A and B are shown apart, each in its own frame.
Chain A
Amino acid sequence: MTGPFLKLREIRKSFGDNEVLKGVSLDVAQGEVVSIIGASGSGKSTFLRSINAMEMPQSGFMEFGGYSFDYRAESRFHPTQAQLQSLRAEIGMVFQSYNLWPHMTVLQNVIHAPMMLRGQSKADATAEGEALLSRIGLYEKRHSYPGRLSGGQQQRVAIARALAMKPKLMLFDEVTSALDPELVHEVLTLMASLAADGMTMLLVTHEIAFARDVSNRVLFFDQGVMAEQGPPDVVLKNPESPRLRQFLHRILHDAPSSEAQA
């Protein structure tokens, strides 16, 4: 049996009285690249973060690799610390604000987790880390501290740091939103090359052009539900719902950044 690579069912999450996710289901196949778009507050980031339980859903079901997390009330399941850690170690996550560790050099950032969590020797981790840094074009910066790097470089290092754990799935949470427009391209190029290599990826993004060119599928989130989904050509060119039409219109015509040229 070959079920979906990642399976999510009826994921729900509230913050106080505010229900942010109202039961979202999704299957992702191995190697698939899925873009999630939607207005801020639509629940798209919360959904992404519920996959690796950075936000713990209040209800629903998640299956990935050998893990199945059943959050439904009747299952009385609560992931243990060890389960959370090993799940997260297999899922790379990259954030809007890079979150590199400023007291470590670029190379130390990349090898820290493989050494501590995978038990890699320093020599092995360094060799692999340097290879990764070569790939992203930042080998020369390996002994620099993150504070000395541009935003685009920092975000590429953050991607390398996640890749060093050899994840089976990568989650990108608006990773270009904090970047100056001229630095967006280098990060998107790296992500496109990962996609081309067959990495399974979910990305929350405002880069409509990138979503169109790189993803196999686009999801549109609206008010806590997945309002529309399908191949980028369909969803982005012929949106069904007025909400998505409005959203695309707004983001393509009002946005001053690189998205406007899309």
Chain B
Amino acid sequence: MNQLFGDIALYGPGFMRAAWLVLWLTVLTIIVSWICGLAAALAQRSDYRILRGIAGFYIWFIRGTPALVQIFIIYFGLPQLGIRLSPFTAGVIALGVNSGAYVAEIIRSGLSAIHKGQTESALAIGFSHAQTMRTIILPQVFRIILPSITNESISTLKNTSLLSAITVVELTLYAQTLISATFRPFDFYIAVAVIYLALTSVLTQLANWLERRYTRLS
């Protein structure tokens, strides 16, 4: 027992910093993924074949290749083309672009669940397509897709552990460095698992609260 308290006092602050970094990575990644996902979902419905083509390729490529390979392409591959990114930036971009493809599919399913009469009544009263999308369609889509988006956000949070492979000192890599100094892999990986679990639980609670708040309609 004493050892546990001692460990917490000794390693706790470091884990806290690493956990904080995970949260920060997750938030930024989610923002990037929503931008990519919304753009791709709207492009898929575009009248322009070229936009539909780009969106289709993006989703096909991302869903058909491992996230780790995508991370390596951004972090190790791009410098060969003269684009050098910090591990943190490369990680956020790679994970965000990756998750964006899944978000696009979620938004697409949400859009197809909205009755076309919703768009019709908005256009008929004089709204533009953009106003209709922004004020009538997307708010409804958001409510419908909230549970799926929660799942995707939790995946994103867990996927930040992949960034240990490109030297982002998030939870997993932080634990690895401690393990190589202390030779206590079981203790530290369990500790890491517990912290991830706490983070994903908080995220789930937050989503549940949002869901209760926004789904009181019909």
Contacts and interface: CB of A to CB of B under 8 A. Distances in A.
Q: Do A and B come from one complex?
A: yes
A89 B120 CA distance: 13
Interface string B6-28: 00000000000000000000000
A89 B143 contact: no
B125 A102 contact: no
B218 A54 contact: no
Interface in A62-100: 81, 85-86, 88-89, 91-93, 95, 97-100
Given A54-B120, A97-B117, A102-B140, A113 B125 contact: yes
B127 interface: yes
A162 interface: yes
B193 interface: no
Contacts of A116: 127, 131, 135
Q: How big is chain B's contact interface, by range?
A: 20 to 34
A52 B127 CA distance: 13
A167 to B, nearest CB: 9
Interface in B133-157: 135-136, 139-140, 143
Interface string A92-134: 1101011111110000000011001100000000000000000
Contacts of A44: none
A106 to B, nearest CB: 12
Majority secondary structure of chain B interface residues (helix, strand, loop or mixed): helix
A101 B143 CA distance: 13
A166 B125 CA distance: 11
Interface in A28-67: 52, 54
B143 A103 contact: yes
B139 A103 contact: yes
A103 B124 CA distance: 18
B185 to A, nearest CB: 50
A99 B121 contact: yes
B208 interface: no
- With most chain B CB atoms within 10 A of its CB, the pick from A91, A92, A99, A158 is A99
A165 interface: yes
B118 A165 contact: no
Contact of B125 (A88, A97, A103): A88
A52 B124 contact: yes
Contact of A88 (B123, B135, B139): B123
Given A54-B120, A95-B121, A165 B217 contact: no
Nearest to B117: A99
A117 B127 contact: yes
B128 interface: yes
A165 B126 contact: yes
A117 B121 contact: no
B217 A113 contact: no
B126 A93 contact: no
Given A112-B135, A145-B217, A147-B218, A95 B120 contact: yes
A79 to B, nearest CB: 13
A161 interface: yes
B125 A95 contact: no
B212 interface: no
Interface in A213-229: none
Interface in A148-181: 148, 158, 161-162, 165
B126 A113 contact: yes
A91 B128 CA distance: 15
A112 B138 CA distance: 15
B213 interface: no
Interface in A233-252: none
Contact of A145 (B120, B126, B136, B218): B218
A146 interface: yes
Contacts of B217: 102-103, 145, 147
Nearest to A113: B125
A54 B217 CA distance: 28
Contacts of B125: 88-89, 92-93, 113, 117, 161-162, 165
A117 B130 CA distance: 13
Interface in B82-119: 115, 117-118
B199 to A, nearest CB: 30
Contact of A54 (B123, B128, B143): B123
6 contacts: A91-B124, A95-B124, A99-B115, A99-B118, A101-B136, A102-B140
Interface of A: 52, 54, 81, 85-86, 88-89, 91-93, 95, 97-103, 112-113, 116-117, 145-148, 158, 161-162, 165
